[in-house]
Amino acid sequence: MTSLLVTGAAGFIGQSVVRAARAAGYKVFTQGRRAAPGIDVVCDLRAPLHNAPPADWVVHLAGAYAGANRDELEEKDFAFARHVLAWATATGVQNIAFASAAEVYGAVAGIATEDAPTEPVIPYGRMKLRIEGLLAEFVAAAPGRTAAVLRLGEVYGVQGRLIQELSRRLRSGFCPWFGSGNVPLSFVHVDDVAQAFICAMARAKGFGIWNVADDVPATWKEFLGALSQGLEARRPPVRLPLILAHAYAAGTSLAAGLEGRPAVVTPRIVRLLTTSKPLSNTSLKQTLGFKPLYPGYGDGLKELLHGLSHDAGNGAAQRCAPA
């Protein structure tokens, strides 16, 4: 039985990957920062990883929030990756799948394929790109190694931070989109992200990069409008011009800092939400056999809106095309 260690297993994406991997027949070990039901390895990855069992694959998901600053990303994301790679090297683990992000591309002209220029505009994207470089070095250092880099679009799902925050704001009556709201991007349901990792572990060889997205790019205006309608929000989303959006982000960040809590909307988040990032998933389909359960955000929202008031499902069945 193929085994894997999932870092950040208690997180939003991690829980979905664990369910999908177990359903696909993998023996799964789980890592988390704190002891919790279902967590096998308790370790803060800012320190070296010593107590994890050897595995055939590592699915590396642990990391900081996209709105984090450079120092926090250095302390968390980069340190996490270095410690996971050091452990993999010491224990002979040959295969790693890593959750990168569309933010490595920066502002996308057209639709980004995997060979599009990488010019990140926020620290999160720059850090993901640095870690991708570490993985390329890991593969080059010894024969037989594999590193599958999955550049994720905007991930949504019933238990995710994105949907929970947007739903809260829509129900409260104030949920703006920033700028025109017409910036295109690619969404992807969390169950499809999990299945992309399953496909990568089944098919990837050597060092490879794949975009993970649904089939049809959309805009924040369209996504928020559909979510608002599905929730029967009392007020539709409103447009907040960029100059006001930046002032709003600065003010809420200052207030959060004074209250000792993390800010949800930061200037970096405004930049993230106003940067185009539509992705092509053609390579993921053709080379890894990926078939999205939710080809467009509308398909995913139908199930998600049901799940906002019911228990989430147990993940989707395996959907990798046969080799």
Q: E strands, 109-236, where?
A: 146-152, 154-156, 176-178, 184-185, 187-189, 207-212, 218-219
End-to-end CA distance of the chain: give it in Å, rounded: 19
**CB-based contact 318:23 (threshold 8 Å):** yes
- The mean predicted confidence, pLDDT, of the chain is 90
Query: Tell me, what's the pLDDT at 318?
Result: 55
Query: Long-range contacts: 28-36, Cβ < 8 Å, 24+?
Result: 28/3, 28/4, 29/3, 29/4, 29/5, 29/53, 29/55, 30/5, 30/6, 31/5, 31/6, 31/7, 31/62, 32/8, 33/62, 34/10, 36/10
The pLDDT score that the predictor gives to residue 310 is 43
Amino acid 204: pLDDT: 97
| Residue 69, pLDDT score | 85
Report which secondary-structure segment, H or E, holds 131. Answer: helix 123-140
Q: Say if pTM beats, i.e. exceeds, 0.85.
A: yes
Residue 46: per-residue pLDDT: 93
8 A C-beta contact, residue 209 and residue 132? yes
pLDDT of residue 13: 97
Q: Which CATH superfamily is domain 3-307 in?
A: NAD(P)-binding Rossmann-like Domain (3.40.50.720)
For 22, half-sphere exposure in the C-beta direction (CA atoms, 13 angstrom radius) is 13
Judge whether 93 and 39 are in contact, CB under 8 Å. Answer: no
Question: What is the predicted pLDDT for the residue at 256?
Answer: 76
pLDDT of residue 8: 96
Backbone angles phi, psi at 37, to 5 degrees: -55, 130
Q: What pLDDT shows up at residue 309?
A: 53
The pLDDT value recorded for residue 322 is 62
- Collect the ranges in the chain with pLDDT lower than 70: 309-319, 322-323
The C-alpha atoms of residue 234 and residue 93 are separated, in whole angstroms, by 52
Write down the pLDDT at residue 132: 98
